[in-house]
Structures are given as structure tokens and as C-alpha cells.
Amino acid sequence: MSAPRHFSMLREFRLADWFTLGNAFCGTGAVFAAMRFLQDGVVRDLTIGMALIPLAFVFDALDGRIARWRKVASTLGRELDSLADVISFGVAPAVLGYACGLQGGWDWVVLSYFVGCGVSRLARYNVTAEQLAGDAGKVKYFEGTPIPTSLAIVILLAVLAWHGRIGAQLWLGVWQLGSWQLHPLVLVYALSGTLMISKTVRIPKP
């Protein structure tokens, strides 16, 4: 039996898998950009991070199209896609929200809930995809909103950053609830997360 070649796992990646990794790369870059903004306070770093999420969305859309075009869909590709989506459309939007000023104690709870919903949404899809596909062999609809819909939140944050409505000037202000603060803006994350884990909301899959 021959010894495994160096980087043998990477050699097995398909073209679609590299686009999926591009998605993850963008999401990770967005997290680092938000951290740089928190360190140096340069808004340009924050907006760069926000711009990487639409780019991640493009990679996410292309990887599925390429897999279908080349007819090489695989379990590995599906798992890679979910892991990349957790970073780009779950963790990164939450970190960008925190960088924009959603830093109260209740904000942390809601942002964590949002990420947890995204992880649960993707895990449920992976488990039930074959069941939802039926005899046709293709999933006809999503149960709950797909996690990339969090792009809408990032776009909202980008508009606020463009108009200087972040940090102490964050839109809708702040509420003091007990010993912790809550920024009402964070409730868009709560809504997005709740829609993701809904079993009654069904979105047709193209």
C-alpha cells in the first residue's frame, strides 16, 4: 500500500470546494477586520469587513452552481459549505454587530442566540436534506430562512456606518434593563435567528 501523498486531502478538493473555501476566507477576513477596527478605530477597516460578506455570498452562490454544472456534489462539499456559512453568515455578522456597538450584556445574549440559530439551521438542513428531496432527488424548499439572509443585517450595518450611526451614536439608542444594557437594534438579529429555525416558514429553493 503506497504512502499518502503530501496535501492529499487538498488534492481531492473539487472546483466547487475551492469556491466554498473562498466563502470561508471572506468570513474570516471580516472577523479580523472587525477586530482591527476595535483595536485602532479606523472605520475603513470595519467597512472592508462588511464588504467581504457580499463577496462571501457570491462564492456561496457559485459553489452550488459549479457543483451542479459539473455534477460532482458530495457529502464533503455539503459539510464544507455549512462550515463556511457558519463563519461568513453567522459568526462574522455577529462580530460586525458587536464592533458597531452592540456590546451590552443583553446584546451578547442575543448575538449568541443568533449564531446558535444559524448553526442549528445548517445542522438541521444537512440531516433532513435527503428527506426533503423526496423521489425527485432535489430539495424543493428550505425550512426556515437560509443563513445567508443575514447579509441583509450586514447591509443595514454598512448603511449605519456610512452615516456615522455606530458606537455611541448607534441607531435606536440603548436601554438599561437591570444591570445590563440592550441596544434595540440587536433585535434584528433575534428576528433573523428565529426565522432561521422556524419549521413553518418555507422558502422555495431555486
Q: In the structure grid, which three cell numbers stand for residue 6, read together?
A: 503530501
Please, what is the Cα angle at 44 between 43 and 47, to 5 degrees? 90
User: Which H helix or E strand runs over 141?
Assistant: strand 141-143
3-class SS of residue 177: strand
Contacts 24+ apart (CB under 8 A), 175-179: 177/106, 179/105
Task: Report the chain's C-alpha Rg in angstroms.
Answer: 19
Q: Would you state the pLDDT for residue 149?
A: 93
CA 49/CA 115 separation, integer angstroms = 18
Question: Can you read off the three cell numbers belonging to residue 86?
Answer: 457558519
DSSP 147: G
Residue 20 grid coordinates: 466554498
Ramachandran sector of residue 158 (left: φ over 0; alpha: ψ -120 to 50; beta: rest):
alpha
| Residue 133: per-residue pLDDT | 52
- What pLDDT, on a 0 to 100 scale, did the predictor assign at position 6? 53
Look up residue 88 and give its DSSP letter.
I
- Report the distance separating Cα 83 and Cα 108, nearest Å: 22
Q: What is the pLDDT along the chain (206 residues), one digit of tens a residue?
A: 455 555 455 556 566 777 888 999 999 999 999 999 999 999 999 999 999 999 999 998 887 666 555 565 566 667 788 899 999 999 999 999 999 999 999 999 999 999 999 999 988 887 776 565 555 555 666 778 999 999 999 999 999 999 999 999 999 999 999 999 999 999 999 999 999 998 887 776 65
Task: Identify the H or E element spanning 161.
Answer: helix 151-162
Kindly state the cell numbers that stand for 125. Answer: 438542513
pTM of the entire predicted model: 0.85
pLDDT score for 128: 72
For the chain, list the domains and their CATH numbers: 8-204 (1.20.120.1760)
Q: In 3-state terms, the chain is what percent helix, strand and coil (to 5)?
A: 70, 5, 20
The Cα–Cα gap between 117 and 28 comes to: 19
Q: Is 95 helix (H, G, I), strand (E, B) or coil?
A: helix
